[in-house]
Structure 1
Amino acid sequence: MSRQKQIWMAVSFIMVLHLAVALCAEPILTVGDFSQANTGETLPRHWEPLTFKKIKAHTTYNMVEDQGRTVIKAYSKASASGLIRKIGIDVKKYPIIQWQWKITDINKKTDVTQKSGDDYPARIYVAFEYNPDEAGVWEKTRFETARLIYGQYPPATVVTYIWANRVPKGTRIPNPYINQVMMIAVQSGDDKVGTWVTEERNIYQDYVDSFGHPPPMTSGVAIMTDSDNTEGTSTAFYGDIIFKSTSGTSIQ
């Protein structure tokens, strides 16, 4: 075999190998494919209600058409509940989260620093799983008690992206109820009310910046529109949610 042919075969093999790796990489992981649902449905595929024992009034969620595509419409009247998809994602592999949302009004009574103001027209939760092997004695006791009551471990930590009222965009602050829930104001105020906004965040970096160590696997992704603490009303729309290996590709 000639040297030229050997080189050509080697180059061809490398090209095929790179193509195979690219095809298997799965650069996008779709978590909320709401645009593929049918209008009139109350729950998108793989998602379920997220409710809280002490809150009796629940936000309503419906699949509706907006600007030619199917999205989730959330309406809250002195209520709180969400929708969640329980899913394990390695955010070291998929560090970029991208989603679309729109609100029709801003709740002027919200306040990120107060329990009485812990309401937002739109939130995206990314919850991370509890690892008993890395927990202290008190934390193990608390989580084991929760598991006995609810049948499963609650998330250990949560990053929440919120549409805030008055704090500057980029504000990072613990939730007034739970320190293990870090809130990040991705939007704030009413400048973009009534407009679809595409958001993109590096969830891996946001987790490290929030908690000081690399994140574990996720345990779920949730959306929530609530107004129970301020006893107001809020309406929001949620588009598709994806996780990506790199930034750049956008939701269509």
Structure 2
Amino acid sequence: MTTDTLRAVLCCAALLSVSSQAAPRYSPEALLNWQVRDFAEHTHYQLEPSAKGTRLQANCQPGQASARYIEQKVDLTQTPILSWSWAVSGVFRGIDETSKEGDDYPVRVYVVKDGGLLPWRTLAVNYVWSSAQPVGTHWPNAYTSNAQMLALRSGEPSEAGAMLSEQRNVREDFLTLHGEDLQQVDGIALMTDCDNAGQPITGWYGAIEWLPATSAATSSPSRR
């Protein structure tokens, strides 16, 4: 698998195995300790205190692109809901996110189904804060159709740095975007990158948590 494809799907076959939990939760402190994969220069991730608690700040300068990730099997029959919060300082100007030259996002969260010995069967759903694509739009990643992008937010935030909450039914999203009714996913990652856009950007991530369908309702992206 090429580096470009790894960037798109973050193939979990190469990651360190972590035992599964009933309902995994990852604090910002835990996110900082996830493994790192650099696709260009290293995006600088650090903890930042805020009025509502600690969050993970990702400060990206032109030429930087790196992800933080963990491999952890999650049973989607028990905990299909992914819940998290994120924020951005702004968005990129004048990019086409459907092209390789525009494949940058202020914040994104990946969920990955590992293809194991058949890496071309690795699938990913990428939840993104888009610079230009309308909310609710989905499209294949510019590097591989095995990774589908879904815009949950789009355009400049109403308040730079304000944390917004998201909840998605990952099992339903894999069925909609890949036609696969998965019982399990194998990894999760986050990335703030700006190597293609060549514009500085800052993103923030709050805690990420898997929840049972009965304890949370998914929130469809709303147009702002």
State the TM bucket, normalised to the shorter chain: 0.7 to 0.9
May I ask how many residue pairs the two structures share in their alignment? Answer: 195
Give CA-to-partner distance per residue, 1:184-220, whole Å, 9 cap, x none: 0000011434221000111110000011121253221
Residue 128 of structure 2: aligned partner: 162
Kept in 1: contact 2:32–2:45 (CA 8 A): no
Which of 171, 186, 192 matches 1:225? Answer: 192
Which of 38, 47, 51 matches 2:38? Answer: 51
Q: Which amino acid counterpart does residue 168 of structure 1 have in structure 2? A: P
Q: TM-score, normalised by structure 2?
A: 0.80
Residue 164 of structure 2: aligned partner: 197
Residue 214 of structure 1: aligned partner: 181
Kept in 2: contact 1:126–1:218 (CA 8 A): yes
More helix by share: 1
Residue 65 of structure 1: aligned partner: 49
Aligned mates of 1:104, 1:248 — CA distance in 2: 31
Q: Extract unaligned runs of 5+ from structure 2.
A: 1-20, 218-224
Kept in 2: contact 1:88–1:218 (CA 8 A): yes
C-alpha RMSD over aligned residues: 2.2
Which of 74, 85, 96 matches 1:89? Answer: 74
Q: In the alignment, is residue 99 of structure 1 matched against residue 87 of structure 2?
A: no
Aligned mates of 2:115, 2:158 — CA distance in 1: 36
After superposition, where does 1:1-252 map in structure 2 within 5 Å?
29-34=23-28, 37=29, 44-45=32-33, 47-52=34-39, 55=40, 57-78=41-62, 79-132=64-117, 140=118, 143=119, 156-194=122-160, 195-215=162-182, 217-246=184-213, 248-249=215-216
1:93 deviation in Å? 1.7
1:249 deviation in Å? 4.6
SS of residue matched to 2:104:
coil
1:114 deviation in Å? 1.1
Give CA-to-partner distance per residue, 1:82-104, whole Å, 9 cap, x none: 11121111122211111000111
Q: Extract unaligned runs of 5+ from structure 1.
A: 1-25, 133-139, 144-153
SS of residue matched to 1:204:
helix
Q: Which runs of 4+ in 1 moved over 4 A?
A: 247-250
Identity of aligned residues (%): 28
Structure with bigger gyration radius: 1
Aligned mates of 1:156, 1:103 — CA distance in 2: 29
Aligned mates of 2:48, 2:157 — CA distance in 1: 24
Q: Which amino acid counterpart does residue 241 of structure 1 have in structure 2? A: I
1:234 deviation in Å? 0.8
1:163 deviation in Å? 0.3
